């Protein structure tokens, strides 16, 4: 299976490893197509203006992680094709919306993104006949705590938020630390719980050398014109554990804790439409 990662998109919604609750009046796309991907499709996901979404070359399991605001290791069960087969989705909130895709845009509100994710969740349940349930088990987790010399993150002076992500790097301005915990969790394949007690919004810069098996922490899609991708990480740089401690004044402690998971009960391949 081609490795894919939601990165920024997932991190904003999945704070603290909790699941979104179903709405009383679920939101849906008015127009949506779901088709198998071409063999050479390059995987990416773009949010569209007005609440739509376009995905190309994405496995169903990855779509589930986005729709239910979880990480890959929190999804279990289901047939092998949810990892191996890839799908294209072109969905719009209204029939009159444009289908032109735009790269992830942090100027859009979190509320708009949440609504789009809810529409995707309902689309998967309808087109893939997806049914699942939640389980909570005691597992090994990491606790993100303040180091003995105190935090090095700086509290934000203004209300603006900015996130830049790449392989082995995370730059945040005006970001809550539960987002940092979620991002680290995606890198380590284990739930990370924010236990710093720091409740504000902070500026920080984190750079580390990923292990070969760690995913890239970058959004789908090509960069917009004039924007360069960040350079690759230093192969001789620190591990993410050392970087968190030295650069942020925080630590990752291994503990036992509750981990919520999604267990797939039923899923079917959609008819092409």
Query: What is the per-residue pLDDT for 60?
Result: 96
Contact yes or no for 179/15 (Cβ under 8 A):
yes
Query: What is the per-residue pLDDT for 97?
Result: 44
H helix runs in 51-196, sequence order: 60-67, 81-84, 110-127, 177-188
Contact yes or no for 8/163 (Cβ under 8 A):
yes
Q: What is the mean pLDDT of each run of 10 residues along the chain (273 residues)?
A: 36 40 73 91 82 92 92 92 95 61 45 86 96 94 96 87 82 90 88 94 93 52 48 77 97 94 95 70
H helix runs in 171-213, sequence order: 177-188
* Residue among 35, 47, 44 at smallest CA distance from 2: 44
Q: For residue 200, how far is the Cα from the chain centroid?
A: 22
* Domain ranges for the chain: 8-135+262-266, 137-259
Angle at 200 between CA 233 and CA 195, to 5 degrees: 75
Query: What is the per-residue pLDDT for 159?
Result: 73
Query: What is the per-residue pLDDT for 105?
Result: 41
Beta bridge partners of 205: 171
Structure tokens, 94: 């209204």
Structure tokens, 91: 């969905």
Beta bridge partners of 166: 169
Q: State the Cα torsion 113-8-266-87 to the nearest 10°.
A: 90
Tell me whether strands 162-166 and 169-175 are parallel, antiparallel or unpaired: antiparallel
The SS3 assignment for 158 reads coil
Query: What is the per-residue pLDDT for 55?
Result: 92
Length reported for the chain = 273
* Residue among 112, 133, 6, 129 at smallest CA distance from 63: 6
Report in angstroms the alpha-carbon separations of 147 from 16, 48, 140, 250, 252: 20, 41, 20, 5, 9
| Statement: the pTM of the whole predicted model exceeds 0.75 | no
With 0-12 CB in 10 A as exposed, 13-18 as middle and 19+ as buried, what is 91? buried
Report in angstroms the alpha-carbon separations of 270 from 33, 63, 124, 130, 212: 10, 14, 9, 10, 34
Contact yes or no for 182/11 (Cβ under 8 A):
yes
Query: What is the per-residue pLDDT for 39?
Result: 86
- Please give the Cα distance from 125 to 200 (Å, whole number): 36
Q: State the Cα torsion 13-15-19-25 to the nearest 10°.
A: -40
Query: What is the per-residue pLDDT for 63?
Result: 95
């Amino acid at each position: 299976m081609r490795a894919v990662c939601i990165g920024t998109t997932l991190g904003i919604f999945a704070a603290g490893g909790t699941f979104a609750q179903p709405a009383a009046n679920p939101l849906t796309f008015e127009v949506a197509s779901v088709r198998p991907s071409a063999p050479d499709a390059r995987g990416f996901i773009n949010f569209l203006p007005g609440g739509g979404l376009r995905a190309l070359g994405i496995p169903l399991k990855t779509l589930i992680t986005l729709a239910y605001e979880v990480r890959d290791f929190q999804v279990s069960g289901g047939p092998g094709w949810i990892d191996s087969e890839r799908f294209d989705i072109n969905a719009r909130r209204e029939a009159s919306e444009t289908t032109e895709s735009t790269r992830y845009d942090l100027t859009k509100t979190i509320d708009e993104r949440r609504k789009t994710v809810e529409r995707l969740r309902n689309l998967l349940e309808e087109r893939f006949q997806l049914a699942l349930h939640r389980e909570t088990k005691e597992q090994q987790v990491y606790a993100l705590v303040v180091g003995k010399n105190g935090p090095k993150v700086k509290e934000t002076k203004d209300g603006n938020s900015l996130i830049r992500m790449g392989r082995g790097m995370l730059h945040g301005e005006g970001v809550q630390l539960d987002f940092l915990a979620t991002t680290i969790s995606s890198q380590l394949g284990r739930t990370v719980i924010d236990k710093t007690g720091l409740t504000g919004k902070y500026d920080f810069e984190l750079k580390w050398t990923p292990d070969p098996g760690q995913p890239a922490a970058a959004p789908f899609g090509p960069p917009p014109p004039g924007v360069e991708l960040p350079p690759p990480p230093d192969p001789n740089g620190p591990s993410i554990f050392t970087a968190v401690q030295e650069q942020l004044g925080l630590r990752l402690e291994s503990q036992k804790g509750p981990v919520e998971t999604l267990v797939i009960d039923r899923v079917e391949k959609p008819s092409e439409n």
